[in-house]
Amino acid sequence: MNIKVYVSDIMCISKELVQFRFPKRKSKRIRKKWTKNSANYRLIEKHRAVLYEGKMYMSEKLFSQYKNVIDKQQNVGKNEH
């Protein structure tokens, strides 16, 4: 089965709020206060691949990573022969 791959940053990049600062003390009350404070969060880009109606859409960054992995695998196969 052949799947066509389309590179689309608009469709495949989402942003997610992730907490990056945490308190040193582990009490539940303090952790609860820190989770309510928006200064402890960052917006992080999430690159993903979407399979839709037999077509695969992926971001440009993800595509280049997959391409590098495939190229390495093909080079290893050529060196063995």
Longest CA span, the chain? 63
Could you report the per-residue pLDDT of 2-20, keeping only the tens digit for each? 888 889 888 888 889 999 9
pLDDT at 75: 84
Say yes or no to pLDDT of 1 above 80.
Answer: no
- The burial class, CB within 10 Å (0-12 / 13-18 / 19+), for 13 is middle
pLDDT at 76: 79
pLDDT band, very low/low/confident/very high, at 81 (cuts 50, 70, 90):
low
Could you report the per-residue pLDDT of 30-74, keeping only the tens digit for each? 999 999 999 999 999 888 888 888 889 999 999 998 889 888 888
